[in-house]
Amino acid sequence: MKSLLNIEKHMKGILQYIRRKLSIRVSLSVVFFAAIIFIVALGFFFYQAREAVRQEAINRAMQTLDKTSLRVEGILNRVEVASEMTKWLVQRHPDVPDSMFVYSRSMLLNNPDFYNCSIAFEPNYFKDKGRYFSAYTKHDCDSLRTIQGGSDSYQYFYMDWYLMPTLLNMPCWTEPYMDLDVVTSTSEMLTSYCQAINDKQGKLIGVINTSLSISWLSQTISAVKPYPNSYSIMIGRGGTYFVHPDTTKITSQTIFTQNLERPDTALASLGHAMQKGEEGVKQMKMDGQHCYVFYKPLGKTGCSMAIVCPESDIFSGFDRLRNSVIAIVLVGLLFMLIFFIRIITSELKPLRRLATEAKTIASGQFDAKLPELRRIDEIGQLSHSFADMQQSLVKYIEELKKTTAQKASIESDLRIASGIQMAMLPKGYPPYPERDDIDIYGQLVSAKEVGGDLFDFFMRDEKLFFCIGDVSGKGVPASLVMAVTRTLFRSVAAHEALPDRIVTDMNETMAANNESDMFVTLFVGVLDMLSGRMRYCNAGHDAPILVGSGAGLLPCDSNIPVGVMQDWKYTPQETTIDPGTTIFLYTDGLTEAENKDHAQFQEKRILDVIRQTPHAPKQIIEAMTQAVHQFVGDADQSDDLTMLALQYKHQQPDIYYQRSLTLPNDVQTIPKLSGFVETVCEASNLDMDTCMQMNLAIEEAVVNVMNYAYPKGVKGMVNIDATISSKGLKFVISDNGKPFDPTAKAEVDTSLSAEERGIGGLGIHLIRQIMDGINYEYIDGRNVLTLLKVI
Amino acid sequence: MNTVLKEENNDLVMYFEGRLDTASAPETEKAVAPLKESSGRDIILDCSKLDYISSAGLRIFLSILKSAKPKGDHVYIRGISDSIRAVFAMTGFVNLFEFK
């Protein structure tokens, strides 16, 4: 079992090897094909040759058999003729006993191959010769011995040979019998031709017996050998062997004897055929050997002779030839196999080297040297192609490396740009943790590394400035415009509190230098934290949604986007935001968010989400984000998605103290103001230093109004209302002069040297330094400046 | 608002007393005019009795400094109270003047 497994394993290994070796596989195929051709051709040839050899053998054996049988028949004929002659002689002189000796002797003299001859007479035929007379001649060494053969001990007329012709009344051949020669005491197997002699009256007078030695006959027959190992047999009428290589069988066995021990139908049928005197060929097994048996009757003797030719003898030459041819073919095929394997292996050698080099190249050594082949065949072509491929590969890899590096650099740049862009957006929510009147949450999700959406907000002078925008286009160009927009917004809004002016200013700058025709849809809002008044200007952006007791779009004028055209007059709009209301701003990335079926999210869904969500900015944006994700599913984000929500939560504080003062626009009344401020400060228990600073701030604010609100020489009034509430100290300075926003003044630079410093701007600077909040509004034809101090 | 101009150790010393606010600024402006005309002498602005100063007062101080500097004269501020110093700090004037 184990060895079987081993063999199987070896076989598998060999098959694996063959599968790997092209040379062996091809050679095996060729040799296999050649072998098939050889097998078919040689098979056919061998079959034909064998048939020819067989036919030849049959012819040859039959010829031999004919010849032998003719010869035997010749001998027999000779016996019969000689016997006839002697009979004639005896009949002519039947009464001369001594001449019988002469006749008998001359018979043997004339026919030296006859064994003996006796001319035997009826008892008492010759009166003077007594009861027995038989002229008997026999070869005795080189001479002939002629004697009178009959005696009391040998009463010949009772012998078969004597009785048979007399009884049958015709000459006949006896079955072989043992003849004892009394003189020499030798016995010999004989067959005799017996012929009765009658006198003129037809009365039987004697019998001529001419004998042939069976052994001699056998030798004669056996001498005929068409093949070295062939032999002859001869059987008599009863099937008795007369001639057989095994002399013990002669006369003692018949052709059927063997059959008794071991049934052999072939042998039996041969026996029967021979007995019947048939002539033919039989292929059969004799003594364990395949043989051809050729048989033929021998004349009138009733005997039949057969030549047994072993197949091995017949075909020995052929077999030798065949074996030689097979051996030559096998050796030839083997040499052919080896030759092919070698040829193909040597032809494929460059391929193997190519394979090795290819492996080297595949491992990353692109500069590996390829074998140089000066061949123009397929392998040469392959080698050339391979070399070309290697060169291209090296080139492409180089390019790829370069491209990848460039891409990595671009990606890194984009990442940095994205970081910079994100840094431009407000961070850290809630942005004003100290304030309880505003809650803001914003979120920007770029579709690419950098995007064109923006939002921003900042608090200045108790006003919340905010904007949301969407730059046309995407990617880096949009992001650059976004950065410009956001910067412009900051710089313009730093000194401008009216959204329409902010947008107009921004538009002038951007449209003037807009060579790439990019534009921004922008919504800018300024929410007055004290009053809830929101001024806004919409430059082509989606209208924000106000979420209060209900949810609805903020009415917006149709203005063109920023950057499209210079000199466009953006219209201002305003509304009052009730405490608790949330302003929800977004870009079209929200409304136009697409799912796989290219359906858009749309305003309706936004409103649905808002209605189901509490109004806290963060909650609204988170709910909206979730709703969009759910809607979009696996589809790619196609545009930047930006949302900003602001909830105004201002509550009117409890007022503990209230006092007012009205002054004319004359700086000489300032001491009055000073007294008023000190009274208020005392009421709010401020220390001396703070009180002095409050004084300073209020004086600066009031002086500002006195100096600038009214034209020179025009009388006007300045109202100062002071209130102390839970939120602290609040001064509201109002007048009905021309609109003048002191907060819109640029900040002074306190780090400049004396020579560089102007004399203006110090007042508003001091106010900002001292107060915790400053707010300017122009309401109902009045400048209203509110100063706050947290106590 | 009272101002007194004195000469001390070859320096011009201007004593300010009371509130230097917008109302008193024009009058003070006139009072400091000699300081601007002087040359070759350092100027000391004594604020030890100054209770209050507004931006109008600061502008006067700045104008004194601006006239003195090209002449190579020094303008010192002396005896300034913490609360007024805080105003100087807010406006960045602490960096412009020298304090004694």
pLDDT tens column, A406-431: 988 888 888 888 888 888 888 888 88
Indicate which of A673, A687, A759, A765 best probes the interface with B, i.e. most B CBs within 10 Å of its own CB.
A759
Q: For residue B66, list chain A residues with Cβ-Cβ distance below 8 A.
A: 754-755
pLDDT at A1: 61
H or E element that contains A71: helix A22-92
Give the B-side interface with A, CB within 8 Å.
19, 21-23, 51-56, 58-59, 62-63, 65-66, 69, 82-83, 86-87, 90-92, 95-96
Provide DSSP, A128-168.
GG-S--EEEEEEETTEEEEEE---SS--GGGSHHHHHHHHH
Give me chain B's average pLDDT, please. 89
Whether the pLDDT of residue A384 is over 80: the answer is yes
Confidence tier at A239 by pLDDT (50, 70, 90): confident
Distance in Å, alpha carbon of A765 to nearest chain B alpha carbon: 7
B91 to A763: CB separation less than 8 angstroms, yes or no: no
B63 to A688: CB separation less than 8 angstroms, yes or no: no
Whether the pLDDT of residue A111 is over 70: the answer is yes
Of B14 and A347, the one with more pLDDT: B14
Six-digit token pair at A102?
A: 């002469």
The CA angle B62-A740-A677, to the nearest 5 degrees, is: 65
B92 to A751: CB separation less than 8 angstroms, yes or no: yes
Q: For residue A689, list chain B residues with Cβ-Cβ distance below 8 A.
A: 82-83, 86
Give me chain A's average pLDDT, please. 85
Domain range list for chain B? 2-99
Output the CA torsion A770→A724→A671→B34 (10° steps).
Answer: -10
In A, minimum Cα distance to B91 occurs at A750
Residue A2 CB contacts under 8 Å (≥ 6 apart), including other chains: none
pLDDT tens-digit readout, A249-274? 777 788 888 777 777 788 888 888 88
Q: Which residue's entry shows tokens 């041819």? A: A325
Q: Which residue's entry shows tokens 């209301």? A: A581
pLDDT tens-digit readout, A676-691? 999 999 888 888 888 9
Distance in Å, alpha carbon of A629 to nearest chain B alpha carbon: 52
Indicate which of B22, B45, B63 best probes the interface with A, i.e. most A CBs within 10 Å of its own CB.
B22
The CA angle A178-A181-A185, to the nearest 5 degrees, is: 105
Mean pLDDT value of segment B45-68: 90
In B, minimum Cα distance to A757 occurs at B62
Task: Name the residue among A140, A78, A143, A88 with its Cα closest to residue A119.
Answer: A88
Spelled out in words, what is the top-level CATH class assigned to the domain B2-99?
Answer: alpha beta
Task: Centre a 10 Å sphere on the Cβ of residue A191 and count the other Cβ atoms it contains.
Answer: 25
A693 to B86: CB separation less than 8 angstroms, yes or no: yes
Q: For residue B95, list chain A residues with Cβ-Cβ distance below 8 A.
A: 750-751
A693 to B22: CB separation less than 8 angstroms, yes or no: no
B22 to A699: CB separation less than 8 angstroms, yes or no: yes
Distance in Å, alpha carbon of A537 to nearest chain B alpha carbon: 35
- Evaluate whether A304 touches A277 at the Cβ level (below 8 Å): yes
Query: A405-414: b or e for each residue (b if 16 or more CB lie within 10 Å)?
Result: eeeeeeeeeb
Task: Name the residue among B10, B58, B52, B70 with its Cα closest to residue B32.
Answer: B58
pLDDT tens-digit readout, A689-714? 889 999 999 999 998 888 888 888 88
Distance in Å, alpha carbon of A746 to nearest chain B alpha carbon: 14
pLDDT at A676: 93
| A757 reaches B (C-beta below 8 A) | yes
Indicate which of A666, A692, A753 best probes the interface with B, i.e. most B CBs within 10 Å of its own CB.
A692
pLDDT tens-digit readout, A156-208? 888 888 888 888 888 888 877 888 777 778 888 888 889 998 888 888 888 99
ipTM value, please give it: 0.92
Domains, chain A, with CATH or none: 2-65+316-356 (no CATH), 66-312 (3.30.450.20), 425-648 (3.60.40.10), 655-789 (3.30.565.10)
A699 to B54: CB separation less than 8 angstroms, yes or no: yes
Confidence tier at A307 by pLDDT (50, 70, 90): confident
How far is C-alpha A179 from the geometric centre of its chain's CA atoms? Answer: 95
| A669 reaches B (C-beta below 8 A) | yes
**Cα separation of A23 and A342, whole Å?**
8
Instruction: Kindly provide the residue ranges of all beta strands, DSSP E only, lying in A3-101, ordered along the sequence.
Output: none
Whether the pLDDT of residue A628 is over 70: the answer is yes
Mean pLDDT value of segment A768-790: 89
Q: For residue B59, list chain A residues with Cβ-Cβ distance below 8 A.
A: 759, 762
Provide DSSP, A277-305.
T--EEEEEEETTEEEEEEEEEEGGGTEEE
In B, minimum Cα distance to A665 occurs at B23
CB pairs A-B closer than 8 Å: 75
Query: A31-61: b or e for each residue (b if 16 or more CB lie within 10 Å)?
Result: beebbeebeeeeeeebeebeeebbeebbebb
| A201 reaches B (C-beta below 8 A) | no
Six-digit token pair at A481?
A: 């415009």
| A664 reaches B (C-beta below 8 A) | no
| A704 reaches B (C-beta below 8 A) | no
